[in-house]
Amino acid sequence: MKTFLRIIGGLVVLGVIALLAFIFVPVQRTAPAKELAADWQPEPGQGEYVMHASDCVACHTAEGGEPLAGGRAIASPMGTIWSTNITPDTETGIGEWSYDDFRGAMVDGIAKGGTHLYPAMPYENYRLMQEEDIRALYDYLMAEVAPVQNEVQETQLSFPFNLRFGIRAWNWLALTHDAGFNPVGTSDLQDRGQYLVEGPGHCAACHSPRTPFMAQDGVTASDDAFLTGGVIDGWNAPALRGEGSAPQAWTVGELADYLATGRNAHSAANGEMGLVVEHSLQYLTDEDNLAMAAFLKGIDGAEVEAPETVAAAGPIATPDPEADDAGRETAELLISADPEMPLGARLYTDNCIGCHFASGKGAPGLFPELQDNHLVTGSETAPLISVILNGAEVPGTAKRPMTLRMQGYAERLSDDEVAELATWLRGAWGNDAGPVSPADVADVRDTDATH
């Protein structure tokens, strides 16, 4: 989430306009798109479900702290932003907040009392949530979450980023989209998926590019750049639409498996995406994960065929992973066991082939495919280097209880060797991405050592 904070970079430019704006225009909250009846009541469990779908816990829980009691440090070049306590404690939490106050934070990024929140809080996306869901969430937080007394550290960024009124001008540029949900209307399933992806799931916060002001470039399905890929904290959050994107390459069922369990027949969810699955998506119903998958599949008009269930129970038949046309040459080289093969191929043979296979296709649900894998071919190489050095792990979920773990090779491979191997992987089986240098590897090794 750290990179959200690069958003703030744009604030400098806007400082002057902001000052004027701040002086002349009073702060206003957006009116609800829909007035709920006075006796409106959420469905039982609705608020908790919305909380899972919108992943509040991920940011509002400190390392090892009480859920929702805040205090998670979000590093930024300008200083640390601390997430707040959103349990209903009257002194340190949001116990005194009215529904309108809460709504203001979710929809306009305005806290009780009128101060602007840093857009590390993804109100750009939560703004698209339905009134009923925001209300259900509020009721849940106020009535069902136990108050936790926890004074979180105050965020103190250096000048001029400490001047929160500057965010106001930024909001003028970033919040050009209306509050509330506007379904495209392809099918009920896809509309539901659109809603979850745009609003609560805030997928665009990572998977859309950023404007020069670091606002999300593409927040709703009607924006061209929506979900065309972003970079977050040194990781590619790959494009979720367009040729070669995972939703186009995978079936709807495979995509839903990935969302619900962090693994599927092709890939595994690591880094921030692993956390999204762990804290949020695994708690959603099959219908909702299928809905998101169906929406993403059909986003540019592709035909959508959705199965009934996600990650069906029972054994997975592991097909003999045969290389396809693009991968054949690489597979043949590996199978030949030719002593003259290039060093990268040799390192793959010595270290990786037992699980990811000569075809680079791995085994469904167990060993990710390395052919056309966006972690392997991304513009950002640190994640690939890190997986090789430190290994990786997808935690178990209700539907796939087994932890998926790969061991690291930091002890076994030198910087030069990791660079050779990574460079080779990025060109194997038809992959087509640039080289990795030993210096890149050393950087990742050093960063890990200081953490």
Partner 1 sequence: MTDLPGYPSRRSFLKASAAGAALSGLALPASAQQQPQPVSLDEYQREYLNADEWAFIMAATARLIPSEGDGPGALEARVPVFIDRQLASDYGTADDWYMEGPHDPNAEPARGWQTPLNPAEVYRQAIPAFDAWCQETHGAAFAELSPEQQDASLTSLQNGDVALAGELREFWGLLLSNTKEGYFADPQYGGNHGMQSWVYIGFPGARAAYREWPERHNVKYPLGPVSISGERA
Touching ligand HEC, residues 360-399 (CB under 6 A): 366-368, 370, 373-376, 383-384, 387-388, 392-394
**With 0-12 CB in 10 A as exposed, 13-18 as middle and 19+ as buried, what is 27?**
middle
φ, ψ at 165 (rounded to 5°):
-65, -20
Does 357 participate in binding partner 1 (rule CB under 8 A)? yes
Contact 422, 388 (CB under 8 A): yes
Cβ at position 2, least distance to ligand HEC in Å:
10
CB of 353 to partner 1, least distance (A): 4
**Which residue type sits at 292?**
M
Single residue of 168, 207, 361, 426 touching ligand HEC by CB under 6 A: 207
Please choose, out of 36-44, 177-185, 235-243, 440-448, the segment that lies near ligand HEC by the rule CB under 6 A.
235-243
Q: Decide: helix, strand or coil at residue 359.
A: coil
The torsion angle over the Cα atoms of residues 437, 441, 447 and 449, rounded to 10 degrees, is: -150
Q: Which of 373, 363, 367 is nearest to 428 (CA)?
A: 373
The binder of 341, among ligand HEC, partner 1, none, by C-beta within 5 to 8 A per type, is: partner 1
Minimal distance in Å, beta carbon 451 to ligand HEC? 18
- For residue 408, state whether it binds partner 1 (rule: CB under 8 A): no
Site for partner 1 in 30-59 (CB under 8 A): none
* 192: contact with ligand HEC by CB under 6 A: no
* Residues near 58 by beta carbon (within 8 Å), at least 6 away in sequence: 1, 275, 276, 279, 280
Q: Which of residues 284-343 bind partner 1 (CB under 8 A)?
A: 335-343
DSSP class per residue in 291-324 = HHHHHHHHTTS------S-SS-SSPPP-------
Q: Select the binding partner of residue 358 from partner 1, ligand HEC, none (C-beta < 5 to 8 A, by kind).
A: partner 1
- The only residue of 33, 173, 353, 366 in contact with partner 1, by rule CB under 8 A: 353
User: Among partner 1, ligand HEC, none, what binds residue 436 when CB lies within 5 to 8 Å by partner kind?
Assistant: none
Q: Binding to ligand HEC (CB under 6 A): which residues in 110-149? A: 111, 117-118, 120-122, 126, 137
Looking at the chain, the number of H-run helices and the number of E-run strands are: 20, 6
